[in-house]
Structure 1
Amino acid sequence: MANYRIDFSKEILGVPFTVGTVDIQRARGPDRALRAAELRFARQHGVGDWRERADRAVIADDGAIRP
């Protein structure tokens, strides 16, 4: 299992601004890590859906976190 970092950003005038980052430890794959990060981000910000605070959720450039 791998570790993942997911970046959440809000787009303003076509430019993405990072509004949060969530690290997921031990996900079976990138799809599961992304879903877990979306749920955690929403819970941290006290909203029902992560899209209320961000426009995009993407796995960070290198995909995995190295200790």
Structure 2
Amino acid sequence: MPNYRVSFAKQILGVPFTIGAVEISRARDPRRAQRAAELRFARQHGIEDWRERADQVAVETAQM
């Protein structure tokens, strides 16, 4: 199964600023990796929904 890196960013005045990234290993597909990363990101920041901190998410295949 592929590994994924999911990045979270906040757009301010039209410029995206990366807030954080989460590494997901062994996800079946990019959608599942994104969902797992959203949950982990929220837990790491002590919030209920990742959208409280970021407004953009990007999933890319990573080499771990």
Note the 1:30-45 alignment, pairs <5 A. Answer: 30-45=30-45
**CA apart distance, 1:65:** 1.2
- The CA RMSD measured in Å over matched residues stands at 0.7
Corresponding residue SS for 1:64: strand
Give the distance between the partners of 1:53 and 1:28, measured in 2 at CA.
26
Percent of aligned pairs sharing the same letter: 64
> Match for 1:66: what amino acid?
Q
Structure 1 equivalent of residue 55 of structure 2 = 55
- Give TM-score scaled by structure 2 length: 0.96
**CA apart distance, 1:66:** 1.2
Structure 1 residues not aligned, in runs of 5+: none
Structure 2 residues not aligned, in runs of 5+: none
**CA apart distance, 1:34:** 0.3
**Number of residue-to-residue matches in the alignment:** 64
Structure 2 equivalent of residue 5 of structure 1 = 5
**CA apart distance, 1:50:** 0.2
Corresponding residue SS for 1:47: coil
